Chain A
């Protein structure tokens, strides 16, 4: 059973996953495509996230993604996850600046 997500007022939810082939982190955008930048992620309210999650999971193999789950974000700008973990996923490891997401793009 999915663990309830703690979410404060003003915070939203986005969907994330890893690419099946290379494991890289992706975010679900407004058009239902998986993109590499959290800046383009579609934001959901708590009452709509479960349906979005279920729909994304149903298409996971076709979309070549794995491990889909929701992440609490502060809308910003810039849009940023609440937890340290998800910030590092979104923007890259802090100890290898050359691998940061910004540089990759």
Chain B
């Protein structure tokens, strides 16, 4: 077996299943085109295959399980962008990829091309368990306790076409991480899982009922230490309680967070325990043999670096200040000596967050093969990670990234803006998100200024569905349409890490053309009043929002 590094290797059963599923969908598409199926009949079928009808065209959302791609898959996405779309793709906050200009009649052919590289679009839409997300530094980070990808794959297999959970009250999102530093926004998921080592195998801390949208809530801990063998049974029971009692009468109250809030976490836990007590637990037991069989379908990278890799790396930084700054913001410590994790920002100054051209995708595939065992990770911050780069090769990689305009030194800085597609593409949005993101990233393009400001997240959503995660942004922007004019509401203080918090509304919404200046004044005020070593959130916590409110609403 020539398994890819980082994700599960399909077998003949997986591939046969995909082919039969594509045949089924091809027949449904043909019947829709000839009129045998009405749009009302066809809509749930196309959504189950990731096909939306958006503002200007069909949009196809392709699953990237736990965010990990191999080079041949990235190359295929590049080729699809070139052949069937408009030469670009959009990486999403769910670690997926979307094509915005797809033709209905082309979708079976696209799905067949995806299947050639073991990819699909199943469960990227609909009221089912969506693509399971994970830590973009999984299996590589020095601060990781347990590599979560094997369990993410187990969750993927458990949740794919799960017969009980295909028609849940509403969509359902699960994230899993194995680091004490929450990089998956676990507490903002329907179920968030944090794993750590235990005396007899990994233990799983489970949060339930988190989410954004019109009712933002931080998830609550339902279990602290679930054993590996009980993981699937526990998740099954949590889902069953939701499936039985979640509201189906009101789409705005249908997510699990509303049920958890209504029952209270203790009553929800009791309901789950009651469900577990009458389940055939042996059927759901996750045995060490099963776990090892899945683990065996992941290749292990040979992380050998020359003894002087770190010395070369330090010398490269000393010689080139621009490279050193990129290293400072866009790398993360690797668990293996002589290696490093590189974050490729898909957020050039003035660019569209998450958009990559087919040429960039193709080059990223080449670079992954050359520098990181052919493996790439899509992050929920809409960037790409090369997980296992040798330190002595990082300078060469960075130079290649510069050539394709993907070397912005802004990871986790103010230029690393998360924005939903907004009204430029999304049929649900009320206002545009991308233009504000572009204007802000251009305004703060100066790398020295970004470095001086330090870690500060700006998240922008074009409607209350909050796909831009504005509730979790240190500065969040929510767009509204006031009869033909776009306005934005500002929230401050959101964060998605282990201290997860929902941002508070600063005041009345401002017109779109005043937003960039208002944010710039907030940032200027922060720089003027911060204490030594204080982050934006530290200053906000110490002084409250009054100084920032005064700055935001200052009349120019």
Contacts and interface: CB of A to CB of B under 8 A. Distances in A.
A87 B429 CA distance: 13
Contacts of B429: 85
B431 interface: yes
Given A20-B33, A23-B53, A24-B57, 8 more contacts: A61-B38, A66-B53, A67-B53, A82-B483, A85-B481, A88-B55, A95-B352, A96-B86
B533 interface: no
A93 B431 contact: no
B54 interface: yes
A38 B235 CA distance: 51
Given A82-B484, A88-B55, A21 B103 contact: yes
Interface string B316-358: 0000000000000000000000000000000000001000000
Interface in A1-40: 18, 20-25
A95 B57 contact: no
Interface in B399-436: 423-425, 429-432, 434-435
Contacts of A60: 39
B35 interface: yes
Interface of A: 18, 20-25, 60-61, 66-67, 82-85, 87-89, 92-96, 99
Contacts of B443: none
B481 A83 contact: yes
Contacts of A84: 423, 430-432, 481, 484-486
B424 A93 contact: yes
B481 A20 contact: no
Interface of B: 32-33, 35, 38-39, 53-58, 86, 101-105, 352, 423-425, 429-432, 434-435, 438, 481, 483-486
15 contacts: A22-B105, A23-B53, A23-B54, A23-B102, A61-B38, A66-B39, A67-B53, A84-B430, A84-B432, A85-B55, A85-B429, A92-B56, A93-B56, A94-B424, A94-B432
| Residue from the set A24, A92, A95 with the largest chain B CB neighbour count within 10 Å | A95
A95 B88 CA distance: 13
Nearest to B438: A95
B416 to A, nearest CB: 18
B55 A94 contact: no
B39 A67 contact: yes
Given A89-B56, A95-B424, A21 B104 contact: yes
A83 B484 contact: yes
Nearest to A101: B56
A23 B429 CA distance: 18
Nearest to B104: A21
A95 B419 CA distance: 13
A83 B57 CA distance: 19
B53 A18 contact: yes
Contact of B103 (A23, A61, A94): A23
Contacts of A25: 55-56
Contacts of B425: 93
The 6 closest A-B pairs by CB, nearest first: A23-B57, A93-B424, A23-B58, A22-B103, A95-B434, A61-B35
A22 B103 CA distance: 4
A38 B434 CA distance: 24
Contacts of A18: 53, 57
Contacts of B431: 84
| Residue from the set A61, A83, A93, A94 with the largest chain B CB neighbour count within 10 Å | A93
Contacts of A23: 53-54, 56-58, 102-104
A86 to B, nearest CB: 9
B33 A89 contact: no
Contacts of B33: 20-21
Contacts of B55: 25, 85, 88-89, 93
Nearest to A85: B423
A85 B425 CA distance: 10
A96 B484 CA distance: 20
| Residue from the set B54, B431, B438, B484 with the largest chain A CB neighbour count within 10 Å | B484
Contacts of B58: 22-23
| Residue from the set B57, B86, B430, B434 with the largest chain A CB neighbour count within 10 Å | B57
B134 to A, nearest CB: 30
Contact of B105 (A21, A61, A66, A82): A21
A88 B424 contact: yes
Contacts of B32: 20
A99 B431 CA distance: 19
Contacts of A85: 55, 423, 429-430, 481
A83 B54 CA distance: 17
A22 B486 contact: no
A23 B430 CA distance: 20
Given A20-B33, A93-B425, A88 B432 contact: yes
A94 B438 CA distance: 12
Nearest to A74: B484
A83 to B, nearest CB: 6
B423 A88 contact: yes
| Residue from the set A25, A61, A85, A87 with the largest chain B CB neighbour count within 10 Å | A85
A75 to B, nearest CB: 15
A18 B484 CA distance: 22
A55 B39 CA distance: 17
Contacts of A96: 86, 424
